[in-house]
């Protein structure tokens, strides 16, 4: 049967070995009488990386029992919309798959067996519009393995969204927080929003063309009673526009006869720091005041309502170091005259450049074209891809990805090119930023070849050359909207292996055990001409494990200065992590024990981020 050339699915960049779908084609028919059976045999020979039988599966395409199909008819749109129609199909066995179609076309879902299928039509929405189906679900039963069913999807009229930028323009209120209730005249859209005085707040997905009112909730700020005027602020947002609206308010003085005086001393800040704004909050009372940053005692400009107060102020950055004011508890301002001390402590900048300031999550791609449709509607921050081919950093690249035979991966075949293209398309269709994250091995501890990668001169040279090529490729994607073009995750399991089996790596801790300088220079000299490549004047590294790690870090900063990067390590690296499950778990003591461990101390000595 397999008398025609095989078809390799284009699922992963560069070369055939990483293709994950192989279709065996034929141009003949296998005739079977009713009730008869037949056996099809195929053979696979793997090179370089071994393939386990358990990792293989075979599916008979277009099997006689799976000739059924469901044809989903999507309505045509009179105008171009970015949202794509979709169907979520629940199979008889319980599996759910998502299919994306096109407006005005038929989406045919084939290779279906007899059984009952449930189709769900999701509501589609972005900041511009919402498209909802008339019917959100359909049940289809295919009586036989070659049955066909038709499903007609109809949509309600498109709901157009608009946006508004609200601001309470009141310099005397500082950065106090106020609550507003926004509602349209039909009460179909009601929401509560917290605004910060004197700062614009963008509010999206308002109903275009509807009349909205903004009702400011009462607040006590800086000894003034702030409330909404009799005539509430109103506006009518238009589709595809952002309305600029100033929220009206009225104010009146409050009785402060029983209020208290507050003296404050600021501690910890270096000399010369500019005055900062502080927000003191206690229940319904707020005070937004500017304070000098020196250590002299100062009396606050306003008397405070007695109570327990929380204090908020922005971090102060001095030479890129954040200084933060954190209070152990609420300030007790109950006496006639109160003295409080606000202490600042230096911190460490933890946010990685190019990444959001919250816990981000991402997905994994094999560079398949369907990645765009699979991830477009998922709110994720990063897309991960291995930037190589053999799973171990390609110390001896295959001929398909080293056409000139120089021992280095070819710039043009690197997977990052496809990954970035997919990410940019997702960004375009989804309207949000996504970070391409390339996983890179310059030594493969996962596969057990780390020592050979470091000690074999030719492999070390090739690793250095490969990595420089990968750096140049990643840096090339920097542009005005992508100042951080990509992120590197370096050498998964490498540091963890050093910690898990430290004695196995003793040899590369010795002086002159790793030819770092010679092979880095050899790689620089042998690399072909590439965009952005200028041979630098190399610093001198120690010829050992520590110098090797620092050399890898140097290459990122030299050839991909705008790429964020870090080394992966393992939570199990210093022993089992089961202790976190114990009722008697003591994270502080465990952390101290790990910090005191000479192996952990050795990691610090390696200066892996220097």
**CATH code of residue 144:** 2.60.40.10
Query: For 57-105, what is each residue's pLDDT tens digit?
Result: 777 777 777 889 999 999 999 887 889 999 999 999 999 999 999 999 9
Structure tokens at 432: 């949000």
Rounded Cα–Cα distance for residues 189 and 183 (Å): 6
- The per-residue pLDDT for 46 is 60
The reply to whether 388 and 531 lie within a common domain is yes
For helices 587-596 and 598-606, give the axis angle rounded to 10 degrees. 70
Q: Does residue 354 fall inside a structural domain?
A: no
The reply to whether 43 and 183 lie within a common domain is no
* Closest C-alpha among 288, 356, 344, 292 to residue 317: 344
Q: How confident is the model at residue 188 (pLDDT cuts 50, 70, 90)?
A: confident
What's 295's domain CATH number? 2.60.40.1120
Q: Does residue 603 fall inside a structural domain?
A: no
The per-residue b/e assignment along 290-306, b for 16 or more CB within 10 angstroms, e otherwise, is ebebeeeeeebebbbbb
- The per-residue pLDDT for 357 is 82
Q: How confident is the model at residue 139 (pLDDT cuts 50, 70, 90)?
A: very high
pLDDT score of 435 more than 80: yes
* Closest C-alpha among 234, 232, 219, 230 to residue 172: 219
- The per-residue pLDDT for 607 is 41
* Closest C-alpha among 29, 31, 27, 53 to residue 42: 53
The reply to whether 452 and 562 lie within a common domain is yes
331-333, strands of its sheet edge to edge: 250-253, 224-227, 219-221, 285-291, 276-282, 307-312, 331-333
The reply to whether 142 and 248 lie within a common domain is no
Structural domain including 145 reads 65-152
Query: Cβ distance 342 to 327 under 8 Å?
Result: yes
Lowest mean pLDDT: which of 451-455, 498-502, 565-569? Answer: 498-502
- The per-residue pLDDT for 597 is 54
Q: Does residue 436 fall inside a structural domain?
A: yes
Structure tokens at 571: 């939570």
Query: Cβ distance 314 to 274 under 8 Å?
Result: no
User: CB atoms < 10 A from the CB of 19, how many?
Assistant: 16
Query: For 248-291, what is each residue's pLDDT tens digit?
Result: 999 999 999 999 999 999 999 999 999 999 999 999 999 999 99
- The per-residue pLDDT for 40 is 76
The reply to whether 484 and 413 lie within a common domain is yes
- The per-residue pLDDT for 608 is 42
The length of the chain is 610
Q: Does residue 136 fall inside a structural domain?
A: yes
Q: Annotate 358-401 with three-state secondary structure.
A: CCCCEEECCCCCCHHHHHCCCCCCEEEEECCCCCCCCCCCCHHH
Q: Does residue 355 fall inside a structural domain?
A: no
Rounded Cα–Cα distance for residues 393 and 404 (Å): 18
The reply to whether 209 and 231 lie within a common domain is yes
- The per-residue pLDDT for 79 is 81
The reply to whether 320 and 214 lie within a common domain is no
pLDDT score of 14 more than 80: no
- The per-residue pLDDT for 42 is 72
Lowest mean pLDDT: which of 117-131, 209-223, 366-380, 551-565? Answer: 366-380
The reply to whether 198 and 290 lie within a common domain is no
- The per-residue pLDDT for 605 is 41
- Bridge partner list, 304: 260
The reply to whether 383 and 516 lie within a common domain is yes
- The per-residue pLDDT for 327 is 85
- The per-residue pLDDT for 9 is 57
Query: Which of 109, 127, 152 is at the close of a domain?
Result: 152
* Closest C-alpha among 81, 82, 85, 189 to residue 136: 85
The reply to whether 454 and 535 lie within a common domain is yes
Rounded Cα–Cα distance for residues 532 and 535 (Å): 10
Query: Cβ distance 539 to 554 under 8 Å?
Result: yes
- Bridge partner list, 138: 119
Total of domains in the chain: 5
Rounded Cα–Cα distance for residues 300 and 311 (Å): 14
Rounded Cα–Cα distance for residues 191 and 575 (Å): 50
Q: Does residue 2 fall inside a structural domain?
A: yes
Q: Tell me what the pLDDT averaged over the chain comes to.
A: 88
Query: Which of 297, 312, 346 is at the close of a domain?
Result: 346
What is the pLDDT averaged over residues 325-350?
Answer: 91
Q: Does residue 119 fall inside a structural domain?
A: yes
The reply to whether 465 and 542 lie within a common domain is yes
Query: Which of 21, 40, 61 is at the close of a domain?
Result: 61
- The per-residue pLDDT for 598 is 44
pLDDT score of 587 more than 80: no
Query: Cβ distance 250 to 229 under 8 Å?
Result: yes
Q: Does residue 351 fall inside a structural domain?
A: no
Three-class SS of residue 45?
coil
The reply to whether 1 and 44 lie within a common domain is yes
| DSSP, residue by residue, 102-144 | -TTSEEEEEEE-SEEEEEE-PPEE-SSEEE-BSS-EEEEEESS
Query: Cβ distance 72 to 118 under 8 Å?
Result: no
Q: How confident is the model at residue 582 (pLDDT cuts 50, 70, 90)?
A: low
């Amino acid at each position: 049967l397999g008398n025609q050339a095989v078809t390799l699915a284009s699922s992963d960049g560069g070369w055939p070995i990483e293709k994950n779908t192989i279709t065996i084609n034929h141009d003949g028919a296998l005739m079977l009488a009713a009730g008869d059976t037949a056996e099809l045999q195929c053979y696979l020979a793997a090179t370089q990386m071994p393939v386990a039988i358990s990792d293989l599966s075979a599916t008979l395409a277009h099997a006689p029992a799976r000739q059924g199909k469901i044809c989903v008819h999507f309505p045509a749109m009179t105008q171009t919309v970015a949202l794509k129609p979709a169907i979520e199909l629940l199979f008889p066995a319980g599996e759910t798959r998502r299919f994306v179609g096109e407006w005005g076309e038929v989406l045919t879902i084939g290779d279906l067996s007899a059984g009952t299928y449930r189709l769900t039509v999701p509501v589609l929405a972005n900041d511009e519009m919402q498209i909802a189906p008339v019917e959100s679900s359909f049940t289809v039963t295919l009586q036989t393995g070659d049955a066909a069913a038709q499903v007609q999807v109809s949509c309600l009229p498109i709901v157009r969204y608009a946006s508004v930028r609200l601001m309470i323009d009141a310099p005397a209120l500082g950065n106090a927080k106020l609550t507003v209730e926004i509602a349209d005249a039909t009460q179909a859209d009601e929401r509560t929003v917290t605004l910060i005085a004197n700062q614009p707040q963008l509010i999206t997905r308002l109903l275009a063309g509807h009349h909205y009112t903004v009702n400011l909730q009462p607040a006590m700020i800086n000894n003034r009673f702030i409330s909404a005027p009799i005539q509430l602020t109103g506006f009518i947002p238009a589709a595809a526009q952002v309305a600029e609206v100033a929220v009206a308010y009225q104010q009146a003085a409050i009785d402060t006869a029983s209020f208290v005086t507050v003296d404050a001393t600021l501690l910890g800040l270096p000399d010369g720091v500019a005055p900062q704004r502080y927000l003191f909050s206690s229940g319904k009372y707020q005070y937004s005041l500017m304070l000098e940053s020196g250590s002299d005692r100062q009396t606050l400009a306003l008397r405070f309502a007695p109570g327990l107060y929380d204090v908020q102020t922005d971090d102060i950055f001095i030479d890129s170091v954040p200084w933060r004011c954190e209070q152990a508890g609420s300030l007790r301002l109950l006496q006639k005259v109160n003295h409080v001390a606000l202490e600042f402590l230096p911190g460490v900048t933890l946010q990685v450049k190019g990444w959001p300031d919250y816990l981000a999550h991402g997905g994994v791609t094999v560079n398949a074209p369907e990645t765009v449709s699979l991830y477009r509607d998922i709110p994720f921050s990063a897309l991960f891809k291995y930037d190589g081919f053999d799973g171990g950093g390609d110390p001896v690249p295959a001929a398909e990805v080293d056409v000139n035979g120089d021992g280095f991966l070819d710039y043009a075949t690197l997977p990052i090119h496809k990954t970035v293209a997919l990410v940019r398309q997702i960004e375009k269709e989804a309207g949000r930023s996504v970070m391409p994250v390339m996983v890179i091995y310059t030594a493969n501890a996962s596969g057990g070849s780390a020592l050979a990668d470091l000690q074999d001169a030719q492999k070390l040279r090739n690793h250095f050359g490969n990595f420089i090529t990968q750096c140049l490729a990643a840096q090339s994607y920097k542009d005005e909207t992508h100042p951080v073009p990509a992120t590197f995750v370096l050498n998964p399991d490498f540091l963890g292996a050093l910690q898990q089996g430290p004695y196995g790596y003793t040899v590369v801790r010795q002086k002159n055990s790793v030819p770092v300088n010679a092979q880095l220079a050899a790689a620089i000299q042998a690399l072909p001409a590439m965009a952005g490549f200028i041979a630098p004047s190399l610093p001198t590294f120690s010829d050992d494990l520590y110098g090797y790690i620092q050399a890898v870090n140097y290459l990122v900063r030299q050839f991909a200065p705008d790429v964020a990067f870090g080394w992966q390590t393992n939570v199990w690296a210093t022993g089992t992590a089961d202790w976190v499950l114990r009722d008697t778990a003591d994270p502080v003591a465990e952390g101290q024990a790990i910090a005191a461990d000479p192996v952990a101390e050795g990691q610090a000595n390696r200066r892996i981020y220097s």
